[in-house]
């Protein structure tokens, strides 16, 4: 009996550039944490489980000067239509042609219960906030052939990710949501310190009985 099963990582064939954060997850109680934000009509949200690149997922965006929840597909089309751009570096997002318009006019937040990364032994590790039900991943959007798409911003990792990865999603504190979505204060948040997260390696507590 294999007592140390491995979970396959993301399928890299469809991802043009990948630094990290190629999978995150949503649990049902996340929607209680973000219930104050109205849902766009017909958005068909409240999906749960793992969210993968190319899939539609709920995001928080500004519409008519209010924060609303809508459904957007994850991943900018790669150059020549090959692969997906699922991450953008926070340190250079304003300088990159592909992302400069999005960071100025298309900032969003991606609510998540947590995200995954794979350690060197290919074990999947889940990262969560130790006290909050929701993480707010910073993202930007762009229009491609009339369809709105998003990508997740990443930054240098803090000690939460030690031994796992040198990058992590840019996380926005709940009390700074307005600064990220509405104001020039977003620039300060691009370089702000990240909270310490709790890490959980699945299967490491498997019982024999």
Residue 206: predicted pLDDT: 36
| pLDDT tens-digit map of 93-107 | 999 998 999 999 999
pLDDT over 80 at 117, yes or no: yes
* Four-residue CA torsion sign, 158, 163, 166, 168: negative
Question: Please, are residues 25 and 102 in contact by the beta-carbon 8 Å criterion?
Answer: no
Which domains are assigned to the chain? Answer: 13-201 (3.90.1680.10)
If one compares 142 and 3, the residue with the highest pLDDT of the two is 142
**Which residue in 111, 93, 91 sits closest to 102, CA to CA?**
93
For the stretch 57-87, pLDDT in tens is 999 999 989 999 999 999 999 887 788 999 9
- Kindly tell me if the per-residue pLDDT of 3 is higher than 50: no
- 8 Å CB contact between 30 and 133: yes
């Amino acid at each position: 009996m294999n007592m140390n099963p491995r979970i396959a990582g993301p399928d890299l064939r469809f991802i043009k550039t990948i630094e990290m954060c190629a999978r995150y997850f949503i649990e049902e109680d996340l929607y209680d944490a973000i219930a104050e934000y109205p849902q766009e009509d017909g958005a068909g949200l409240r999906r749960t489980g793992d969210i993968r690149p190319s899939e539609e997922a709920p995001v928080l965006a500004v519409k008519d000067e209010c924060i609303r929840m809508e459904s957007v597909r994850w991943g900018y089309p790669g150059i020549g239509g090959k692969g997906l751009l699922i991450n953008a570096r926070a340190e250079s997002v304003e300088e990159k042609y592909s992302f400069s318009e999005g960071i100025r006019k298309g900032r969003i937040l991606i609510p998540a219960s947590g995200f995954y990364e794979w350690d060197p032994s290919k074990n999947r590790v889940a990262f969560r906030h130790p006290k909050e039900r929701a993480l707010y991943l910073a993202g930007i959007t762009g229009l491609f052939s009339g369809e709105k798409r998003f990508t997740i911003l990443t930054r240098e990792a803090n000690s939460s990710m030690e031994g796992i990865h040198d990058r992590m999603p840019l996380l926005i504190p709940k009390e700074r949501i307005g600064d990220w979505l509405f104001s020039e204060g977003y620039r300060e948040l691009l370089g702000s310190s990240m909270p310490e997260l709790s890490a959980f390696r699945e299967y490491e507590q498997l019982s024999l009985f």
